[in-house]
Structure 1
Amino acid sequence: MADSASDERPEPEKGAVSSPAVPKEGGLRGWLQVVGTHFILFNIWGLAFAFGSFQSFYVLEFLPSVSTSAISWVGTIQSWLLIIGGLVAGPLFDLGYYRSMMVAGSFLSVFGIMMLSLATEYYQILLSQGICAGLGFGLLYIPAITLVSRSFVRKRALALGISTAGAPLGGVIYTLVFEQLLPRVGFPWTVRIIGFVMLALFVSSGLMLLWNSEDTGQLPAASGRSRTRRRLFDISALKDVPFWTFTAANFFMYMGYMTPFYYMPIFAETKLHTTRSLGLYILIISQASSIVGRVVTTAVAHYFGAMIPWIFSGVASGVLCLAWISTDTLAKFILFSAFYGGISGALVPLPPSVFPHICPDPTSLGAWLGMAQSITSFATLIGAPIAGALADLGAGGSDDLTFLNVQLFCGAMMLSGSALVLGLWWVLRRFRGKRGFL
């Protein structure tokens, strides 16, 4: 959001207080902020991507009496709070409260994970891992990305690419940590060790993100009043056809996007009769391939526009979810997991690249994108629980889930979203006069 919005700024009115000069691009300070943001995304999105390992443990061992759908709410609430927290964190950043958010977000995140180590009941897991950690994540995500965006112009794509690579990398590492430590030290100490790793990375990232930032004028002073007012809600967007087409397309895609990552380990254990370790390693393969997929598809988008790779990734991901139905051997399932992770990973960075074509007023870009992402966040919230409820239909227990319902649900949602992206292409030509590949 901050990346797109920062490219085009309105001219300051006469007599208005001018914003501080843009600091020198990159340099030691800028690249330290890239590393710091990489660490933050490693923690917050890494744990979100690694939730499949927690889900498998909760469903099959820790809380077998709790429904699959109910357990899915823990991960989806955490991810939803991470995304929608930007509506609060963005304006607080503009008001100069980044230091406070860094401290509060880090504390809530680590506190939530540490409290998870003491949890024995479902509601305790929901409160600690879902709500407390999710609130902390939401205070950290958008401000960290914004700092990197303000430090770079020509190399912004590279800087943000390195920063956001921390998300799938964190998913791989935290899944490995969970899988390796759980049988050795048990659930409580496994979670505590994860909490200590998070604390170390948050402290390091805080030092790197804030070093010399105020001296360069990069952080606004906490004066209680922003230099420029930021709109959170623009009612004109609700009357705009391209806005709603984009939002609906993204909503349907996100209904299905995260769900396979939650259910891959459970499918491997219950349907293919693998060990718990092998099930988690398959999830790791999928997450690792996501790193490669993001790099390749964003490189293609650089030369040919974002619309074509976005449509391709959506259609291919939906087809792969349907192909998941035929994965009756371990080799087929590993191939599915690797391809799904690599192709679906592009569905995160590509939509924001298209959004500047949606918003007709560059000064409203942040408000429009914030509104679109807020609506989409509800798809992240309800997608996996709906799939979990479908999996429980006709099932005799956690070892006999109906995965056909999950596979059909994910495929239908992602193919529906892809069809809406095709419609968006026509809508942009009709209402915005856009031509070419965008």
Structure 2
Amino acid sequence: MQRSGSVSVQEEPWQSASASVSNLSSGHNPNFDEEAPRSAFSIVEPPADLSTLTTHLTGHGTDDAFPDGGLRSWSVVVGSFFLLMSTFGVMNTTGILQNYFASHQLSNYSPSAVGWIPGLFTFFGLSLSVQVGPMFDRYGPTYILMAGTACYITGLLLLAESHLYWHFVLTLGVLSGTGTAFLSTVALASVPQWFDRKAGLAIGISMAGAGLGGVVFPFMLRSGFTRLGYKWTIRLLAFVVLVMCMVGISLVRARLPKGRSKSTVNLRSLQDARFTWLTLGIFGLELEVFAGLGLYPTYVVMQGFSTNDSVVLLAVLNVASTIGRLVAGGVADRYGRINTQTALIAVGAFAVFVVWLPFGSTLAGLYAFSAIFGLASGSFLSLAPACIGQISKASEVGGRFGLTYSIVSFATLICIPIGGEMLDKVGKRAMVAYLGSVLIVALGMFVMARWACLSYRWRWHAKI
């Protein structure tokens, strides 16, 4: 990367830009007349005496002229909020379902065997996004959301009738998981089409739905299992999910014209080092988060506390997570999304090794961990789409989301069975240490992504 004047612009694939400060401020860059960059985001590095910032350069096209507000844009955020509450919110509650299955219908199976059911649910919910993302880019959201709702609700209604192991695998794992893939991918990919400068805040608000679902659904399931019984509780869950999906269908719209996007399942995106490091980092985050959420209620019960304590602790974690998502989005827009994500991953690792590992046998320690880790982990899932959107053209966001989460889905498939096996064979402390170590690895991946954004030249104060 070469410097010209007082500013250097880093583009993909790391070509030099001969823009001056005045050219950048007026929105003109001569290099765009020759070849538009593949990435709509570039890193602007002013002289050392100026604060660095991330600037969005759009070239000639109008696709990247983000509204960044207005009724239509915020309606999409509200619709995405309800879609993610109905999908990721239930994923955040799979620990309650797993614990119920293991103590009732599937009591003859080991925790690791039962863990494959929510693992498959999350796996299908993410892996199929590699196809759903390009479909969204090309055809828009409405029919995809309708198909996803039909699959999801049908799976939940059949889940209410399940009593054999393979019933749970097919209804919750495969059918409902497929439905959530359609719904969550559209919800995640739609918001970045409407927001640029406020993308972190907008995605944080929409992802807060997942945290709120993780608060509401555990209490609803716990109370329902006691008062209504298993079948009617799952049917009630299906009805609540249906209402949320209908709200999402009515509000979520694509900004780009249908059929205009050329996004496909393109493995060449992995040639972008920034995208590759982010994908690996998100893989580690999902591996830790879904294993933790899935096994946390079981861990609490194994420590000698009541099932009610496990529900309350999971709710505290999700309440803190919801707050964390809302706060992290605004902070990320101001100080940089990758910067904010990296810092919060470090806080999450601190919570695991300094609070959970030494004090996990006390109720006070578990409450402290739930609050601290919840605040930090709220960003793990909510800022990940913003980080990907930051290095992608608007018309490519759906395809890149799909590729990332299809890779990440393998983490969600294996995380709960691996953690359950560790609980059985090597004990609770070893499992906690393993989850913390995964966070440390994910932290390293995000540090590498930040370094790649700076063309492998470290800048402490760069807004990335």
Q: In which range does the TM-score fall when normalised by the shorter chain?
A: 0.7 to 0.9
Q: 1:365 to 1:155 in 2, by over 3 A?
A: closer
Aligned twin of 2:416: 384
Pick the aligned partner of 1:272 from 280, 300, 304.
304
Kindly state the Cα deviation for residue 375 of structure 1 after the two structures are TM-superposed.
1.9
Match of 2:383 in 1: 350
Query: How far apart in 1 are the matches of 2:404 and 2:64?
Result: 29
Query: What are the superposed Cα offsets for residues 350-391 of structure 1, whole Å, 9 maximum, x if unpaired?
Result: 3444446766x8876665554333322222221222111211
Structure 1 residue identity aligned to 2:438: M
AA in 2 matched with 1:284: A
User: Offset at 1:10?
Assistant: 6.2
Q: Provide the C-alpha distance between the structure 2 equivalents of 1:406 and 1:55, rounded to a whole number of angstroms.
A: 18
Query: Equivalences for 1:314-329 in 2 at 5 Å?
Result: 314-322=345-353, 323-326=355-358, 327-329=360-362
Asked if 2 retains the 8 angstrom alpha-carbon contact of 1:84 and 1:373, the reply is yes
Cα pair 1:294 1:349 within 8 Å, conserved: yes
Q: 2:281 aligns with which of 218, 242, 249?
A: 249
Aligned pairs for 1:161-310 within 5 A:
161-209=204-252, 218=255, 220=257, 226-235=259-268, 237-274=269-306, 276-310=307-341
Alignment-derived partner of residue 375 in structure 1: 407
Instruction: Show the 5 A alignment for 1:11-30.
Output: 11=60, 26-27=70-71, 29-30=72-73
Residue matched to 1:41: 84
Deviation at 1:186, TM superposition (A): 1.2
The CA distance in 1 between the partners of 2:333 and 2:69, in whole Å, is 21
Q: Is the 8 A contact 1:25 1:153 kept in 2?
A: no
Q: Distance in 2 between matches of 1:381 and 1:79?
A: 7
Give the AA of the match of 1:26.
G
Contact 1:287 1:341 in 2 (8 A): yes
2:4 counterpart residue number: none
1:348 is paired with a residue whose SS is: helix
In structure 1, distance between residues paired with 2:110 and 2:452: 42
Of residues 119, 141, 148, the one that matches 1:76 is 119
Cα offset, 1:244, TM superposition: 3.5
Q: What do the CA deviations read for 1:183-216 (whole angstroms, capped 9, x no partner)? A: 1111111111111111222233323446xx8xxx
1:88 shift after superposition:
1.9
Separation in 2, partners of 1:209, 1:278:
37
Give CA-to-partner distance per residue, 1:102-147, whole Å, 9 cap, x none: 2211111111111110010111111111111110111122323444
Q: Structure 2: how far apart are the matches of 1:83 and 1:31?
A: 25
TM-score, normalised on structure 2?
0.78
SS in structure 2 at match of 1:229: coil
Aligned AA (2:439): M
> Equivalents in 2 of 1:185, 1:291: separation in Å?
28
Opposite residue 429 of structure 2, the aligned amino acid is L
Give me the identity figure in percent: 26
For the 8 Å contact 2:131–2:265, the answer to whether it is kept is: no
1:58 aligns with 2:117: no
Q: Which amino acid aligns with 2:369?
A: F
Instruction: Verify: 1:334 aligned to 2:347, yes or no.
Output: no
**1:405 corresponding residue in structure 2:** 430
Shift of 1:239: 4.4
What CA deviation, in whole Å up to 9, does each residue of 1:262-298 have, x standing for no partner?
1221122221332x22211110110110011122333
> Counterpart of 2:44?
none
Do the aligned residues in 2 keep the contact of 1:272 with 1:329 (CA within 8 Å)? no
Can you give the 5+ residue segments of structure 2 that lack an aligned partner in the other structure?
Answer: 1-38, 42-55
Question: What is the DSSP-based 3-state SS (H/G/I as helix, E as strand, rest coil) of the residue aligned with 1:95?
Answer: helix
CA RMSD in angstroms comes to 3.1
Secondary structure of the 2:432 match is: helix
Aligned equivalents of 1:209, 1:366: Cα separation in 2: 14
Partner of 1:398: none
Partners of 2:138 and 2:274 lie apart in 1 by 31
Stretch of structure 1 that moved more, 328-337 or 199-208? 199-208
Contact kept, 8 Å, 2:261 with 2:395, in 1: the verdict is: no
Alignment-derived partner of residue 397 in structure 1 = none
Q: CA deviation at 1:182?
A: 0.7
The one-letter code matched in structure 1 to 2:328 is T
Q: Which amino acid aligns with 1:34?
A: V
8 Å Cα contact 2:138-2:261 kept in structure 1: no
Q: Structure 1 residues 112 and 37 mapped into 2: Cα distance closer, same or farther (>3 Å)?
A: same
Q: Secondary structure at the match of 1:349?
A: helix
Distance in 1 (alpha carbons) for counterparts of 2:199 and 2:449: 27
